[in-house]
Amino acid sequence: MPPKQRQIRIEQRAGLAAMQQLESRSDEELERETRHKAAAMAILGARAADRYDAKAARSYFQRALAAARPQERMQLKRMADASLALAERRAGDLKEAVEKLGHEAPSGRQLFVLQLMGLVAPPASAGAVARVRGVLLGIVLVAALIGLGFGIVEGIGQAAGGIALGSAVFLGVLLVAAALGVLAFFGRRRQKTARERAAAARGGS
């Protein structure tokens, strides 16, 4: 192998490959990182994308690309595409971007949830029409869930000898809240696992 090519590969391993050892650092520590600045900014960009903060994610990846070596920029660009697709709730683009990174794409259910989030809570870059539509869809969704909870409680109450309307509504809301709490708990656990896998993937890229 020619010396220059060997040097490029060593530098690449020392650059983006440093992500794995930087993953455990806080945001403040990553902001102060100078030796592996591109890797640090890419991690911050990915974290911002996990929070669905597209503006911050884009800014961090721009800084990462500016600090990266030429041989690292293609991989960083692909990482940025995947992270921004996540932050902006673009399910189709996320699937394609993740596959370009050489990783397994999110499941159909995960992509559906992301697409639904994009409708109910569109990114800040979306227009006023999309935001109004999101509010209306959110109201309809909440009303539908409350109606479902009320129907379940009312059905059980009638089978048990009858239940007052007010009690049925109240218990229906509690039932929906409990169900959403359970879903949120398991959803966060799965999200944590997904983040750990993503961190390992970034470190191995």
Do 63 and 10 lie in one domain? The reply is: yes
User: Is residue 63 assigned to a domain?
Assistant: yes
Query: Rounded to an integer, what distance in angstroms lies between the CA atom of residue 70 and that of residue 57?
Result: 21
Do 82 and 10 lie in one domain? The reply is: yes
User: Is residue 205 assigned to a domain?
Assistant: no
- Is residue 2 very low, low, confident or very high in pLDDT (cuts 50, 70, 90)? very low
Do 135 and 87 lie in one domain? The reply is: no
Query: Rounded to an integer, what distance in angstroms lies between the CA atom of residue 110 and that of residue 175?
Result: 24
Question: For the chain, what is the domain count?
Answer: 2
Condensed to tens digits (0 to 9), the pLDDT of residues 146-202 reads: 888 888 888 887 777 777 777 877 888 888 888 878 777 766 666 666 555 555 555
Query: Rounded to an integer, what distance in angstroms lies between the CA atom of residue 146 and that of residue 162?
Result: 19
Domain that holds residue 175: 117-191
Which residue, of 58, 79, 106, is where some domain finishes? 106
Condensed to tens digits (0 to 9), the pLDDT of residues 68-110 reads: 988 889 989 999 999 998 888 888 888 888 888 887 777 777 7
H or E element at residue 178: helix 165-204
Residues 6+ apart with CB under 8 A from 85: 91, 93, 94, 97
User: Is residue 198 assigned to a domain?
Assistant: no
Mean pLDDT of the chain: 78
Do 102 and 15 lie in one domain? The reply is: yes
Q: What is the pTM of this model?
A: 0.63
Condensed to tens digits (0 to 9), the pLDDT of residues 115-124 reads: 777 767 766 6
3-state DSSP call for residue 151? helix
Which residue, of 52, 82, 106, is where some domain finishes? 106
Among 8, 47, 53, 5, smallest CA distance to 28 is for 47
